[in-house]
Structure formats: structure tokens, C-alpha cells
Amino acid sequence: MSTTPTDTDRQQSFAETALRLGGKSEEEARRMGAVDRADEQVEHMFAPQYQTVNSPVHKAAWEKRVPIELFMPPPLPASAPCDGAMDRSFEVVRRHREAGTLFDEHKKISTTVLGDLAQAGYWGMLIDPKYGGQGAPFQRFTRFLTRVAVQDATCAGLASVHGCIGAVDPVRTFGSPEQKARFLPRLASGEALSGFALTEPGAGSDLTAMRTRAVLVGDHYEVTGEKLFITNAVPGRSVGLVVKIDEKPAVLVVELPREENEQFQMVNYGLYALKHTWNRGLKFNRLPVPKENLLVPRQGDGLTIAYHGLNLGRLSLCATAAGSMRAMLANLLPWAHFRRTYGAPIETRELVKRRVARMAGLIVACDALTAWGSYLIDQGYRGELECIVAKIFGSEAQKEAAIELFMKTHGGRSFLHGHTFGDNVHELLAPCIYEGEGEVLGLAFFKSLLKEHGKQFFEPIGKAFQAAGIAKPNLANPRHAWVVKRELWAYTRWLVGQKFGGRQVDSVPGIDPRLAGHLSFAQDQFGSFGREISAAMAKHQLKLADRQCRMAELSSRVQDTITLLVTALHAHQKRDEVTTAAADIVCQDLRRKLTGERPSDAYFRDLSKLADTIVGGGFEAIAGAPVAEILMKYEEDVLGVEYSPPRGPRRAALIVGKPIDVGARLKESGKLKAVVSSLTTELESRIQTLLDEIGPGLPFPGIDGRKMIDADRGGLDVAASVV
């Protein structure tokens, strides 16, 4: 991270200048300026090569080449020291989910589970081992979150609340050595679980409206104000609390009192989303907080700290969506196999196949964005643009998967109590809102993308007009054009360079032809984004801030192109047919969205082919996902058709006979070849005996996915299990 301090605090930001020049009210310019400054301060924490202007997305849009190598993270190393803690933590979640003991009497993740996870090392994943943590690289952490989310999305979400937006990231990134030594060991061990308290009743999207204040009184701050929607807000736990100190945003690490009192109260309300964890309001009335708990970033203020953690939280959200969608797809398949209409299972219908294939495509795209964004974070990039793309795509994909694909396929049963959709619909939709509502974030993405270009070319033009006292510039007016002749010349040179300067288009050796097509399409799109964004600025000039729909439209196209590019390259790295086919589907969908073309018959055939493979158990990504009972089963009673188990992915183990002590035989014989040969003959004979026993006349013992069949036939112990 860069250590060079700058005086950005005192400078007027680009947004502030633009809004003032564009005639916005003083208050709006000042508030947006504060947000923009916080953003620039985060920027200055990073070494120049990792700042937004040098990020892959910025380069792709404004430079003459899409830096393919920055969109294609290398595969993760096979193992890392944090793996043991990850496996143990995963087992805790899986075990409690299977035993039905994840939740307490309030239907919240129980303190036993939180404690078991603490023992496993879950809460210290992102904390340096010297403070008792696991030191997980972020890319490994997010991949792990996907795995956990398949089992339980709330557990996965809590790891992000604690580690990314909660107290962990602010302290490890901005804490002094003394603060790190004081807080991190307790945060790593799970003794202190944490959340992040930013939102207030009057301040959500507009964080500058925040009113909670801290006043220094002797050796402590007194905090007064109210927070709303705070996840993991429980007496005795910790929060990274954003307050105003002397009118500037700041972050205090607050250990919430164990009991409510005059200075601290919880505000309880009924909340549909995040129902398995506590989410509450917090009221403070001169709550004392030691002054040593104030985090002081080298530059910037509390919003700087908030934005840093939110970036990580946004990638984690995409990772969790990838896990939740795996669980949805794993639950959709048995139902589509079971449900028959007009005499055939709905899994054979093209409409349903489209949903299966689309869901696989969304999963692969979320995996791709998560891995890519997390890799950039590990490399040291700020990753703001990249994290926003992942957050928006992840939350929208999960929403589509839940409603358009999962709910519609499950029909009326979706709304039964006990159904995965009905029980979790709010959980599945809420990510569109928390950590920044998608469309508002899309505007932030666009503003970040054009900021440097605006500063370079449009701010000087605006300032020249302002200096000349021209309130309504019109370049057709020769006097107006004369005023900005120097600035216009610089801009014209840039435009000509863009139009005629040529672009480098790279190919990736050995890439599947389907993916290669998407790769060159994406590069082609990037060839014109710079000019398009610039043209929007030129047209609307300093009023562009009011053209939100235009900004949103452009923003969404750039984001879609990034998703397409990253997904195609991710599939290329994976080199397996199902991932490639799923990536191809989502890339074709994105291309059609971008070009407005209609789907071809070949596309529908691709969908069906991929769906058939997935229905046949060929999508490894969903292996091991828990599958709920089908509700209101009916065949046996109504149709007299025996239910056959789904052909979803599963692992099978067939144990024939008693265990053989190979070591003892080797000792006895002394010849490896002879032992292998006798073992092979023996095994063949045991299998033959087993097959003879089953025989054509005997019904094959039903394997229903849960039951263990343990038959003792003719001296052979036979056990078959399907997991």
C-alpha cells in the first residue's frame, strides 16, 4: 500500500467541482464531494499500479488493449496452511445442518455452533497467524465461503460480516500495532464476534446524512445516535461503529455492553431477511467508548475505512450467491425428475432444461467473478470496479435463479412451509439491497470509470467556461468555442487517437472455439466503450450527473462485457466440458442482451444438451449439496408409479466383503506381484458371487439416496451406499 500522504482532504473532488459547475445546490455538491473524497482517500492507500486507473477494467475501457492476463487468475495452489481450519469449519456446519442443530430456540445460528466454529478457527480466517488467525488468502477465503454457503448461507454470511465488513478488516487494515494486538486475538478466537454499524434510520444510500456522533470527554468518547439494520448486533459482541467526530466520519471499535442500560439499547423489529441471525437497531445515549478504540487511517476518515471493508464484503456476497445457487440447482433436479406432467417428467421439457442450463451458467459466472476479484485483492489491487461488478451480478443472478428458475420450476410447492424457496425468499432477495443497492452501485461504478477521463478533459473545459462567466455553454457559439479552444484541442487529439489509433486484439492459445468467440466479442465491445462514455459526457457535460438512466445503461453494458470476458476466461482455465458449456450459455445470453439479437435454434440445442448432462449427474459443482425432501409427494398413492431416485450427481461406494489386510499378505508372501494377482482374482470372484446372488429374478435392492443397504449373502458382507 502507498504510504505517501496527499492533501486530498483539502482538495475539492472532481464530483464536487462537476456538481458545482453543473449548477447543483451547495449542499448536494458538498455531500457528494465528501463521498468522492473518501473514495479518493481509499485510492491513495494503494500503490499507483493497484489504483483504479490501473485496474483491469479501467485499462480495458480506456487503453488500446484489453489486458487479458489481468482477467485470468492463475489456478490456486493445491493447498495452503488455512485449509485445515477450513475443512474443520466446513464439517461443523455440515454436521450441525444434518443433525438439525444449526439454530437455537429463536431460529438463529446457535451459540453452540458459533463456539464450535470458533474452535475450528472459522472466525480468524482473514487474520494474520501472529494474532491467532489462519491468514487465508482472500481468493481461498471466498472459494471456501461458496462451499459453506452450499450447506448454509447464513453461516457463510456471518464469516463475511465478521471478517470483511465487521471489525476484522478495519482493525487489521487501519489499526495501530497496539490496537491490532489488543483486538485481533479476540476477534480471531471468536471471543469477540463483530458486525458493522453504518446505516441509520435517516442515512442508507446517502451516508453523508449520518447523525450518530462521538464527543471526546476526558479519556473516552461519548457516542449518541441510532443505527438501523445492523447484522450480528448482539449485546456483548463488537461493532465497527461509524460516527461523526467533529463533523468528520470516523470508526470506533465498540464492545457493546452485555446488558441494555440507559446508554445502550437494542431496537428490535421483525425482519424477513437474515432471519437466522440477529439484525437490530442500536440506540446510544452518551455511551462511553475508550478513546484508544478510534481507528485512525493514515489518510482519509471513517468512510475510507467503510469503503475498504465493503469491497471485500461485495466479493464475499458473490461467493455466497454461487453457493446458494448450487443448493438451488441441486434441489431443482430431483423435483424436475419427480414431477410428471402429461405423462413425462418435466426435466424432459425444453423450458425446464433452459432453467437448468441457465442456473449452471449463472453459477459458473459467479465463480468466475469471485475468483477474479479475489485474486486482484490478493495481488494488492484496490478492486473497487471489480468488486462492484461481482456484487451486482451475484445478487441479481441469485434473484433470477430464485424467482425465474427455482420458484417457477417448483410451481405451487414453492410456497409451502418447509420449501427451500418459500422459507428463504427474503434471504435470496436481500443481497440486492445490502452492501449497496445494485442500481445505485451501478452509478458509482460508472462515475469511477469516467472520473479520470473527466478530470483530464471535461473539468478543464467546465472551469474555463466558469472563469469566462458562461453558465450555459454552447460549442456552436464561436465565442464559447474560443474560450475553450486549448481544452478542446487536447480533447480532439484524444478522440482522433481513439478513432484511428488502432487497438491490439489478443487471442488465447488453445481456447475452445466457443469461448474464443466470446473473448473477441468482449475485446470488440471494449474498443468502443471509452468513446461512448466520453460522448455521453460531451453531450450532457456537467449535467451528466442528472442523466442517471443513461449512466445506468452504459454502466450495465460495461459490467456485462466484463462478466462475459471473465467467465469465458475462467472456463478456459478450468478446461472441462460442462463448465465450458455453462459458461458458453451465460456468455451467449450476455451477448444477446448487449446486441439485442434473438436466440437461435442452435442456442436452444446447446441449452438442452447442457441440461441433459446436468440432469444426468454431470455437473461436479453441485456434488454434495444437501437435497431436501420433495413436499407433497404423490406418485405411489395417485399414479401407482414407483418413485425412482433422481439421477443428480452423487458419489457411490460399494464395499464387497470384509477389509483385507494387504500389509499382512505382503509380509506373508514377500512378492508384490503375486499379492496383487491373488487380490484381483479374489475380488473378481466376490463380485461374481454377488451378481449371481442378486440374479435377474431378484429385485435389485432399492438405493434411495439415504438408506444403507447391508446384506449378508453367502458369507459376503455387501454394503452399498449412495451419498
Ligand X SMILES: Cc1cc2nc3c(=O)[nH]c(=O)nc-3n(C[C@H](O)[C@H](O)[C@H](O)COP(=O)(O)OP(=O)(O)OC[C@H]3O[C@@H](n4cnc5c(N)ncnc54)[C@H](O)[C@@H]3O)c2cc1C
Interface residues toward ligand X, by CB under 6 A: 195-199, 204-206, 229-231, 273-274, 279, 430, 433-434, 436-437, 439-440, 548
Least separation in angstroms between CB 209 and ligand X:
9
| Continuous H helices in 575-700 | 577-595, 601-615, 635-638, 662-669, 672-694
Least separation in angstroms between CB 134 and ligand X:
23
Least separation in angstroms between CB 437 and ligand X:
3
Say how far apart CA 710 and CA 688 lie, in whole Å.
18
Say how far apart CA 616 and CA 113 lie, in whole Å.
35
Contact (Cβ atoms closer than 8 angstroms) between residue 643 and residue 636: yes
Nearest residue to 225 (alpha-carbon basis) of 286, 310, 178: 286
How many CA atoms lie less than 13 Å away from 470 in the CB half-sphere?
19
Least separation in angstroms between CB 152 and ligand X:
16
Using only C-alpha atoms, what is the Rg of the chain?
29
Residue 94 neighbours by CB distance under 10 Å: 17
Helix (H) or strand (E) holding 710: strand 709-713
Contact (Cβ atoms closer than 8 angstroms) between residue 352 and residue 407: no
- Which three three-digit cell numbers place residue 629? 425432501
Least separation in angstroms between CB 436 and ligand X:
6
Phi-psi region of 404 (alpha: psi -120 to 50; beta: other; left: phi over 0): alpha
Say how far apart CA 165 and CA 239 lie, in whole Å.
10
- Which three three-digit cell numbers place residue 10? 483539502
Of 131 and 393, the one with the shorter C-beta distance to ligand X is 393
Is 675 in a helix, a strand, or coil?
A: helix
Nearest residue to 356 (alpha-carbon basis) of 379, 378, 334: 334
Of 195 and 300, the one with the shorter C-beta distance to ligand X is 195
Which residue is associated with the grid cell 464476534? 193
Contact (Cβ atoms closer than 8 angstroms) between residue 542 and residue 507: no
CA 376 to chain centre: 14
Least separation in angstroms between CB 228 and ligand X:
7
Of 204 and 334, the one with the shorter C-beta distance to ligand X is 204
Phi-psi region of 513 (alpha: psi -120 to 50; beta: other; left: phi over 0): alpha
Least separation in angstroms between CB 568 and ligand X:
31
Residue 609 neighbours by CB distance under 10 Å: 14
Say how far apart CA 151 and CA 324 lie, in whole Å.
8
Nearest residue to 45 (alpha-carbon basis) of 160, 166, 174: 174
Contact (Cβ atoms closer than 8 angstroms) between residue 319 and residue 143: yes
Of 231 and 525, the one with the shorter C-beta distance to ligand X is 231
Least separation in angstroms between CB 440 and ligand X:
5
Of 19 and 582, the one with the shorter C-beta distance to ligand X is 19
Contact (Cβ atoms closer than 8 angstroms) between residue 37 and residue 51: no
Least separation in angstroms between CB 446 and ligand X:
12
Of 148 and 207, the one with the shorter C-beta distance to ligand X is 207
Say how far apart CA 493 and CA 500 lie, in whole Å.
11
Say how far apart CA 712 and CA 696 lie, in whole Å.
18
Least separation in angstroms between CB 313 and ligand X:
9
- Which three three-digit cell numbers place residue 532? 461512448
Cα torsion through 451, 456, 461, 467, rounded to 10: 100
Say how far apart CA 577 and CA 583 lie, in whole Å.
10
Least separation in angstroms between CB 450 and ligand X:
17
Least separation in angstroms between CB 297 and ligand X:
18
**What is the maximum span of the chain, computed from C-alpha positions, in angstroms?**
104
Of 237 and 570, the one with the shorter C-beta distance to ligand X is 237
Least separation in angstroms between CB 303 and ligand X:
12
- Judging by DSSP bridges, how do beta strands 238-245 and 248-255 pair with one another? antiparallel
Of 209 and 351, the one with the shorter C-beta distance to ligand X is 209
Of 199 and 265, the one with the shorter C-beta distance to ligand X is 199
Say how far apart CA 246 and CA 216 lie, in whole Å.
10
Of 174 and 381, the one with the shorter C-beta distance to ligand X is 174
Of 88 and 550, the one with the shorter C-beta distance to ligand X is 550
Of 172 and 314, the one with the shorter C-beta distance to ligand X is 314
Contact (Cβ atoms closer than 8 angstroms) between residue 204 and residue 441: no
Contact (Cβ atoms closer than 8 angstroms) between residue 347 and residue 332: no
Which of the 8 DSSP states describes residue 405? I
Of 204 and 373, the one with the shorter C-beta distance to ligand X is 204
Least separation in angstroms between CB 595 and ligand X:
28
Say how far apart CA 119 and CA 140 lie, in whole Å.
20
Of 70 and 306, the one with the shorter C-beta distance to ligand X is 306
Of 265 and 395, the one with the shorter C-beta distance to ligand X is 395
Residue nearest to ligand X (CB): 204
Contact (Cβ atoms closer than 8 angstroms) between residue 241 and residue 223: yes
Of 195 and 646, the one with the shorter C-beta distance to ligand X is 195
Least separation in angstroms between CB 306 and ligand X:
8
Of 86 and 273, the one with the shorter C-beta distance to ligand X is 273
Residue 57 neighbours by CB distance under 10 Å: 30
Least separation in angstroms between CB 203 and ligand X:
7
Least separation in angstroms between CB 442 and ligand X:
10
Least separation in angstroms between CB 198 and ligand X:
3
3-state helix, strand, coil in the chain (%, to 5): 60, 10, 30
Contact (Cβ atoms closer than 8 angstroms) between residue 241 and residue 254: yes
Of 229 and 372, the one with the shorter C-beta distance to ligand X is 229
- Which three three-digit cell numbers place residue 38? 473518501
